Amino acid sequence: MKKFCLLQLCFILLAELAFAQFYKDLSQEKRKELAEAYYLVGSQYLKTGKATMGKGYQALAYKIYPQLDTAMLSLEETTPAAALIAEGRGKIVAPPQSLESVSRLIRARFLQLISALVSEDVEATLETLDGSVYLTKAQREVTQEEMRKELEAFFAGASLLGLAPSQVYDLNSLEIGPAAAVPPSWGDTYTIRIEARQDFSQQVVIWEKEQQFLIHRIGRDWRIFAVGRGLPPASWVPRQAQAPAAAKAAREAPGAESQSIKSSFMDCLDAFLKKDLNRAAGHFSRGVQILRLNTTLSREELTSTFQGYFEDSDFSNIKPQDVLEPDSVFVERTDKFKEVKPLPTYLLTVKTRLDLSDKIPFWTRFQEYYFIQEEDAWRIFAIF
């Protein structure tokens, strides 16, 4: 337990020192833009249950720019007139949005993309993309499913966790403007240009020092549909993005594997609540990677962590359904560890009702467990 606390303390102190030294010389406008980026990163971490990092990033955002107005970071249209028009109960009587207001929405969307990347959140990254994306350097279209695999491979080969947005991109170089000479089928299209500070060209072929993205309006949303300098063929049109529920259903693991893994997880949780250490530990591999802390624990060390928590806890009459959201348990196959785990591996995600991160560092509101089959049983070998 001391090992965990020390790692967390070091992370927080290093972050404080790093941030304290670089933003003081920036103008107020640049401070504002940087604070917005950090706030969105914090929001992304909180969304996925990483409370410590999420709150840390948001606190630093206010430290960089105390007057930060987070309401301006929303991508949602808030005017009643816009809602009426969208529902077909009104008509446009106001002039089109100004370039400044559109640029603000697009900048917020792009900052969400960056925040998803630095938190290594595949699904949040995909939410900023259209149903397919054209890679102009490679001159090919990639679907969302292909992009999901590309992102999983990218995150497996390049660690972005802990990086600040300004370490990945030069936010001062961000430029947004209307795209010229684009076909009407693309709709309202804008260009995003920015310079990268990190070199990930070994992990991603399309990664360049100077990057360009095409983004267009879909209803009330904005989605990126092309990456790279230049334009896709005029005849090309991106596919329609799947609704989140449909996309999730398409990724779900086969019924037999999914049910077995869920049963193993629920039995592990039941053993945990009954303080049955041996039964709980039996659901873990001999070495468990704690990805959020970049460390590995033996089964014995993990058991000791549980034992330390049990000393001050009473789980009398508490059932697994009291601890987690039953409908949130989802199992899908993943290639994240294909280089080191040749056997099929699966990811189980779950949302919990309790935050025990003050006692168990890898326990957060939104959890990810990676399973592999060992000795005819599904066991957890990594946790995020």
Secondary structure string (H, E, C) spanning 200-216? CCCCCCCCCCEEEEEEE
- Every domain of the chain and the residues it spans: 11-79+99-231+241-249, 252-383
Residue pointed to by tokens 């950090």 = 38
Q: What is the pLDDT of residue 10?
A: 39
> Taking residues 221-234, what's their average pLDDT?
93
- What the block records as the tokens of 343 is 């056997």
Tokens standing for residue 257:
């594997």
Angle (nearest 5°) at CA 178 between 177 and 182: 140
pLDDT in tens, 282-316: 999 999 988 766 788 898 888 887 777 777 677 77
Task: Report helix angle 144-157 to 244-251, nearest 10.
Answer: 70
Query: Does residue 182 register a pLDDT over 70?
Result: yes
- 139 CA to centre of own chain: 27
Residues in a beta bridge with 140: 135
Residue 16: is its pLDDT beyond 90? no
Condensed to tens digits (0 to 9), the pLDDT of residues 252-265 reads: 777 888 999 999 99
Domain 11-79+99-231+241-249 class, CATH top level: alpha beta
> Taking residues 107-115, what's their average pLDDT?
87
The span from the CA of 229 to the CA of 249, in Å, is: 34
300 versus 6: the higher-pLDDT residue is: 300
**Residue 78, pLDDT above cutoff 60:** no
pLDDT > 80? residue 77: no
CA distance 236 to 255: 37
Pick 377 or 203 by higher pLDDT.
Answer: 377
Q: What is the pLDDT of residue 73?
A: 65
Mean pLDDT in the chain? 78
| pLDDT mean over 262-281 | 90
Q: Is the pLDDT of residue 247 over 70?
A: no
SS3 23: coil
Query: Could you give the angle at the alpha carbon of 125 between the alpha carbons of 329 and 98, nearest 5°?
Result: 130
Other beta carbons within 10 Å of 316: 6
pLDDT at 107 over 70: yes
Q: Looking at the predicted structure, is the pLDDT value of residue 128 above 80?
A: yes
Is the distance from CB of 44 to CB of 36 less than 8 angstroms? no
Give the position of tokens 């301006």: 72
Residue among 288, 38, 261, 50 at smallest CA distance from 163 = 38
Greater confidence (363 vs 326) lies with 326
Question: CB neighbours (10 Å) of residue 27?
Answer: 9
Quick one: how far is CA 227 from the chain centroid? 19
Instruction: Please report the pLDDT score of residue 175 as a whole number.
Output: 94
pLDDT at 209: 94
CA distance 34 to 43: 14
* 252-383 classified as CATH 3.40.50.300: no
